[in-house]
């Protein structure tokens, strides 16, 4: 049985999750993300096993989780509608090396850099349990949600 009836019409924040391994960088648009513990603080992001980003997050120690402003549809299209198998997304956006060398987008509302302390096979996604190591709130409020980007054709089949 699927979950379509239960989740139909729901709205929730969208994230861009980025990481680096050696000289390689990758990142994708993610809807499956949430805080899962208060003390200790823990955040979970789930990466599709089909994605280019998946191979990197299996080995990378750190990832950056970005919240986007409502006007950042172009960033959502880049990270959700293109795949690193075909394009280097980091040639099409401004970014800087952050803590532990993880690529951090210059333009976003908030960013969390997390240490990957556990990985869980959740089905067709891998859950990354993150311990926060840095966070920053920038100009503007996070506002990009699932309902605003649902139309994007994913760069990778789920």
Ligand X SMILES: Cc1cc2nc3c(=O)[nH]c(=O)nc-3n(C[C@H](O)[C@H](O)[C@H](O)COP(=O)(O)O)c2cc1C
Which residues form the interface with ligand X (CB under 6 A)?
26, 28-32, 46-48, 51-53, 80, 82-85, 146, 149-150, 152, 154-156
Q: How far apart are CA 100 and CA 71, in angstroms?
A: 29
The answer to whether residues 119 and 129 touch, using CB atoms and an 8 Å cutoff, is: yes
Place of tokens 């920053």: 136
Of the CA atoms within 13 Å of residue 143, those in its CB half-sphere come to: 9
Identify which of residues 98 and 155 has a Cβ nearer to ligand X in the complex: 155
Nearest distance, CB of residue 141 and ligand X, angstroms: 20
Identify which of residues 52 and 110 has a Cβ nearer to ligand X in the complex: 52
Nearest distance, CB of residue 148 and ligand X, angstroms: 9
Nearest distance, CB of residue 83 and ligand X, angstroms: 3
Q: How far apart are CA 153 and CA 151, in angstroms?
A: 6
The answer to whether residues 108 and 69 touch, using CB atoms and an 8 Å cutoff, is: yes
Nearest distance, CB of residue 37 and ligand X, angstroms: 19
**DSSP at 49:** T
Identify which of residues 84 and 98 has a Cβ nearer to ligand X in the complex: 84
Identify which of residues 37 and 147 has a Cβ nearer to ligand X in the complex: 147
Identify which of residues 40 and 93 has a Cβ nearer to ligand X in the complex: 93
Query: What stretches of 32-85 show up as alpha helix (H) in DSSP?
Result: 52-57, 73-81
Nearest distance, CB of residue 38 and ligand X, angstroms: 22
- Percent helix, strand, coil in the chain, to 5, is 20, 40, 40
């Amino acid at each position: 049985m699927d979950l379509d009836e239960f989740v139909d019409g729901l709205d929730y924040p969208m994230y861009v999750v980025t990481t680096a391994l050696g000289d390689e960088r990758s990142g994708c648009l993610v809807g499956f993300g949430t805080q899962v513990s208060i003390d200790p603080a823990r955040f979970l992001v789930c990466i599709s096993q089909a994605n280019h980003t998946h191979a990197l997050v299996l080995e990378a120690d750190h990832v950056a989780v970005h919240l986007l402003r409502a006007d950042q549809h172009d960033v959502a299209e880049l990270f959700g509608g293109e795949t690193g198998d075909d394009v280097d997304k980091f040639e099409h956006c401004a970014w800087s090396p952050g803590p532990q060398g993880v690529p951090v987008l210059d333009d976003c509302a908030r960013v969390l850099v997390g240490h990957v302390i556990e990985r869980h096979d959740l089905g067709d996604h891998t859950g990354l349990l993150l311990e926060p190591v840095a966070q920053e709130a920038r100009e503007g409020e996070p506002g990009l949600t699932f309902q605003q980007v649902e139309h994007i054709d994913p760069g990778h089949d789920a």
